[in-house]
Structure 1
Amino acid sequence: MPFSGAKIPTAIPTFPSPKVDNGRLFEVDKICKNRALKLSWNFGITQLKLKRSNYHSRFVTYASNVSVSDASFPADYSELLRQAKEATEFAIKDNIQLMEIEFPTSGLQSVPGDGEGGTEMTESMQLIREFCDRLVAPEKATRTRIFFPEASEVKFARTSVFEGVSLKLDYLTKPSFLEDFGFGTKVKMADRVRPEDELFLVAYPYFNVNEMLVVEELYKEAVANTSRKLIVFNGELDRIRSGWAPDYPSFFYPKLAALTKTLLPKMETVYYIHNFKGRNGGTLFRCYPGPWQVLRRTGNKYICVHQRETMPSLKEVALDILQPA
């Protein structure tokens, strides 16, 4: 989604379409287009406001000869999905219950807004299907529940990307008469979950405030103090984490602001790519259990210019780490 007036540097992008194994690409449906138009209306004129956070680096590495393989940055979406699957498996073995996977869908070097909003949602849906094909064993499919933002998107998924699968498809919210203003009707998670469920995957819950609030409810009511796992897939949590959503000021949306203290600290980011454009552009990259890396692209190579064990803020990466010495 475009965020005009952003303070993060920008650069000339490339726009390769995501290519995944054994998958079909589908036309963007009307539902996704409508959601994208509303999202553009809500956020298209917002200004990026990132808060600086103090940090203490565990270690910093500067290098001049680190290749793509050394930095572990994926060469294509097939490799990305393999990495994300392996990172998730490592996290599950470490008994991490709440996980985040976040990466661009309009090309490995793209940023939110490079692609049309509805297209990005449909691409995320396709990539979620491919990710599940890798992660979920056939005998576990009926114990895996995928939550889409709305019931109408579940219907679209069942007749397109997820046609014929055994995975359970569900939804977070129902449309209301205030839908055009970004509101929906909250769904009680206790009514959606089944005793046999083992893994929940929530697909791109960033359209309105209710979606992430319902994710927190899902975690509290169905995941915490159980053996279940929950993955938030392309939820654009940086909007909440970094505090730059002026459309949702904490005064009017205290519950959403509270997620930075209640839900997000419990979350492990197991796979993450965020690109920064401009002359001093680069990438913030993480593949669990590895460290966070800031990479600078030079030709067909990625050079690691900084790494640490904790996530730096986006403002810190853009204005401090990627700036020339």
Structure 2
Amino acid sequence: MAVASSLSTLPIFTPLLARASFSATPSFSRSPFMRHKSIPVLPCISICSDRVFRDFQLLAAMETGATAQSDAEARAGVAVYKPASYDVLISDAVRSLCYALDENKSRLEIDFPPLPSSISGYKGSSDEFIDANIQLVLALIRKLHEKRGISSRVVFPDKPEKKRATRVFKSTLELVNGVSFGSLDDIPGDGGKSFLKSLQSALDLDFSNEEEVKWQNEGNPALYFFVGCSTSELPAVETYVNTFAAEVPVVLFNLELDTLRADLGLFGFPSKDLHYRFLSQFLPVFYIRTREYSKTIAAAPFVVDYTGALFRMYPGPWQVMLKQGDGSYVCVAESSDRFSLGQTKEELLAALGLQEEKGSTMDFLRRGYKNTTWWEDDVEKEESMSWRS
């Protein structure tokens, strides 16, 4: 029997979260999953409570886009997450962003899959990935302006990218208020830019046109969004922030920072100090990192495929979410501090009843000697803990 079909027939259970009291040290809490010794099956849990009723009310609200929450509910996180559309995703991101701005947070990150597929900035068509992110950030800016009247500036890696976005999204821009475009080329001098960008400035090449000038930098925005930047452009992002947005909130929008961090320190890329000094300042306010896993077991179907996500909707806690057959994500663990990628996988295995006995040979062979990344380990070198909180 195909694994995908077997997982799709798993019973949808009533979500029930055991909330933990958070302290300065990481404290994980898990939902009351029953563990099966051989085949991972999530049983139906027939428990009725006010909490469960509220969770299903919230799920219904998310599916209709009406996701009004009290402050206490927002800080408690969600038991089930199943947005009906990208419009709902953007609305949730705006809500989380507003919470952070109200708390005077100024270095922020928003990261979620911009396309309903495995395509990312490093797979498939990069133009498709970039265009999806531009469309999404413009939708977010429109909602943010309607909600708070905040003016925003979208910052692109260079002038050609800005020019292309102006041309491709001309009709969309006519409908969005409070938005302007900028680029890393606006930094005085070379600003840490690449040789080609420095050459462009030296030759005084001007790629602007009348339409682009219409969306040029005008006035001082209240919020900056950076889109489409690669690892090699992160030093220029830091310089831009220090130059133009030292006292203004900044959002790194769908830059896939965990992927970019992996290149830091490699030959030809910025040093790891960029994370310790700069990237560690950015608080994830809306974060969905999905991953697909496989696990070999000793009984049919022998190979189990499962999907999970590391999830955060500020001011709620960090949550490990397990994908169900109906496409919803259900919380199986949560913490006040960020889960490492290895911890996320461990919590998913524990929820499915597939975790080997602690300290056993099989546990060591599967986990290996090290299952964390350098940026997850180097706590003492970081100038800020915001990216973990």
Same-fold status (TM-score > 0.5)? yes
Match of 1:288 among 304, 314, 338: 314
Alignment partner, residue 117 of structure 1: 126
CA root-mean-square deviation: 3.2
Are 1:263 and 2:275 counterparts? Answer: no
Distance 1:214 1:194, change over 3 A: farther
Distance 1:258 1:250, change over 3 A: farther
Residue type at the aligned position of 1:305: V
Query: Matches of residues 1-325 of structure 1 in structure 2 within 5 Å?
Result: 57-64=26-33, 69=59, 70-107=79-116, 110=118, 112=120, 115-137=124-146, 140=149, 143-161=151-169, 162-164=172-174, 165=176, 167-173=179-185, 184-185=196-197, 196-206=220-230, 208-209=231-232, 211-224=233-246, 226=247, 228-241=248-261, 244-245=262-263, 249-250=265-266, 252-253=268-269, 255-278=270-293, 279-300=305-326, 301-318=328-345, 320-323=346-349, 324-325=354-355
Task: Give the Cα separation in 2 of the matches to 1:101 and 1:130.
Answer: 14
Larger RCO, structure (CA 8 Å, separation 6 or more): 1
Contact preservation (8 Å) 1:60, 1:307: yes
Contact preservation (8 Å) 1:63, 1:304: no
Residue type at the aligned position of 1:120: F
Distance 1:120 1:111, change over 3 A: closer
Alignment partner, residue 3 of structure 1: none
Contact preservation (8 Å) 2:180, 2:218: no
Deviation at 1:252, TM superposition (A): 4.7
Larger radius of gyration: 2
Contact preservation (8 Å) 2:119, 2:125: no
Distance 1:59 1:102, change over 3 A: same
Spell out, residue by residue over 1:172-231, the C-alpha distance to the aligned partner (whole angstroms, 9 max, x if none): 249xxxxxxx8652699xxx977623211111212x51x21121112222333x2x1111
Task: Give the Cα separation in 2 of the matches to 1:275 and 1:195.
Answer: 38
- Secondary structure at the aligned position of 1:185 is classed as helix
Task: Give the Cα separation in 1 of the matches to 2:313 and 2:119.
Answer: 18
Deviation at 1:85, TM superposition (A): 0.4
Spell out, residue by residue over 1:284-311, the C-alpha distance to the aligned partner (whole angstroms, 9 max, x if none): 1111111111111121232211111222
Residue type at the aligned position of 2:163: K
- Secondary structure at the aligned position of 1:275 is classed as strand
Residue type at the aligned position of 2:110: I
Contact preservation (8 Å) 1:58, 1:309: yes
- Secondary structure at the aligned position of 1:100 is classed as strand
Alignment partner, residue 300 of structure 2: none
Task: Give the Cα separation in 2 of the matches to 1:104 and 1:277.
Answer: 14
Alignment partner, residue 20 of structure 1: none
Percent sequence identity is 24
Contact preservation (8 Å) 2:181, 2:217: no
Residue type at the aligned position of 1:269: P
Contact preservation (8 Å) 1:173, 1:184: no
Contact preservation (8 Å) 1:88, 1:270: yes
Residues matched between the structures, number:
251
Spell out, residue by residue over 1:79-105, the C-alpha distance to the aligned partner (whole angstroms, 9 max, x if none): 100000000000000100011011112
Task: Give the Cα separation in 1 of the matches to 2:195 and 2:290.
Answer: 30
- Secondary structure at the aligned position of 1:118 is classed as helix
TM normalised by structure 2 equals: 0.57
